[in-house]
Structure 1
């Protein structure tokens, strides 16, 4: 019942239209590193996210292009930016704060789209059968080590194009003393 853990730093997903506004017409993102989920990558390109009170530079873009622009940050980042985004599953951006995004060739302001990503586990249908769980279910994951911790309310996300991986943000990883590649025990 062990689940590999991936630590997700702040990042942004962009639409094609927003990539063009930030980097120039017909711009193509450059893959820097493949991610745990098949077909996804960390791009070479970064942007600055900015509120009236603060900014964070060097926010990594994750590819490929998405149907909506979304910024995923930690609670620590939210405090620095003086905003209060909700904890949400990816893609659920209604009622979330917006932010200014600055690229090398332009800037945009989104009126919604900043979230703290809900911790979750990606898995295939075969994985779900093996673990006895289903899409949308919540489970717990117990970690080991000096800062042993049990994460409750971990969302199961099932799709056959996924690879087995639990995603937590940097605040959660630091609290439990975890890094990418560590594992946790799934508890139903």
Structure 2
């Protein structure tokens, strides 16, 4: 039996900056504090420190509207919306496939909340399928951060007379961090095409071929983890730092 990885199907969701949280949901009105609206937890999600919030936002594009898109907390430095290609077609926009936090030049739309609106000029992406791993997991699977691998679903029981879809996923990004919980994240289009649901199992069958080594990207999430772990970061030569990551790192003196 190969080493397996649980599937986590990622539906459309928001990460909001605190400024946009307050524009969309208003102020808590705490006397004398000046505190803006704070997202409220609906439930924890698989990755540590993150939660599905009670709050939702509508998204309006040139051709359509997505209603009640769930917000994931806590607030971040820059607003980001992760959607599927099907969602993008419904909205009439063409977002790039990117890893979380790589937002420069991405798509935009109008966001509508109960207390206000935000014209988002960039921040909408189709998430690159990826596997979260701890360093111990990475050692066990024989991979390292930023590797690209091939992933195959583990066969499962199917209804009588039904056949397996036979989908194999190439160019799956490996992300390694001590805070990560092992799972394979893919969007609803990909999961539906393969007949996968939350908790199904996949396994790594090899490394991707003919994939150019990408420039290392340091995102706001990377910086936040360094702050939580009380460590400093050295930016590798040629690395790309997102604006939100650079601003957060500067304010907390994270970069060496």
Q: TM-score, length-normalised on structure 1?
A: 0.97
Is residue 107–residue 121 contact of structure 2 (8 Å, CA) maintained in 1? yes
1:14 to 3, 13, 16: 16
Q: 5+ unaligned residues in a row in structure 2: which ranges? A: 28-35, 157-163, 207-256
Q: After superposition, give the CA deviation of every residue in 1:15-72 in whole Å (9 maximum; x if it has no partner).
A: 1111011001211111112111011111111000111321110100011111110010
Quick check: 1:156 aligned with 2:174? yes
d(CA) in 1 for partners of 2:91, 2:137? 38
Residue in structure 2 matched with residue 31 of structure 1 by the alignment: 41
d(CA) in 2 for partners of 1:29, 1:147? 39
d(CA) in 2 for partners of 1:52, 1:185? 39
Q: Which moved more, 1:12-21 or 1:144-153?
A: 144-153
Quick check: 1:56 aligned with 2:103? no
d(CA) in 1 for partners of 2:20, 2:166? 41
Residue in structure 1 matched with residue 220 of structure 2 by the alignment: none
Residue in structure 1 matched with residue 187 of structure 2 by the alignment: 169
The RMSD of aligned alpha carbons is: 0.9
Residue in structure 2 matched with residue 87 of structure 1 by the alignment: 97
1:127 to 128, 137, 152: 137
Is residue 58–residue 68 contact of structure 2 (8 Å, CA) maintained in 1? yes
Quick check: 1:98 aligned with 2:108? yes
Secondary structure of residue in 2 paired with 1:78: helix
Residue in structure 1 matched with residue 203 of structure 2 by the alignment: 185
Q: 5+ unaligned residues in a row in structure 1: which ranges? A: none
Secondary structure of residue in 1 paired with 2:6: strand
d(CA) in 1 for partners of 2:77, 2:166? 38
Aligned positions, number: 188
Secondary structure of residue in 2 paired with 1:112: strand
Q: TM-score, length-normalised on structure 2?
A: 0.72
Secondary structure of residue in 2 paired with 1:76: helix
Query: Highest relative contact order (Cα 8 Å, sep 6+), 1 or 2?
Result: 1
Map of 1:39-78 to 2, 5 A cutoff? 39-78=49-88
d(CA) in 2 for partners of 1:140, 1:54? 35
Map of 1:131-146 to 2, 5 A cutoff? 131-143=141-153, 144-145=155-156, 146=164
d(CA) in 1 for partners of 2:63, 2:142? 46
d(CA) in 1 for partners of 2:141, 2:77? 31
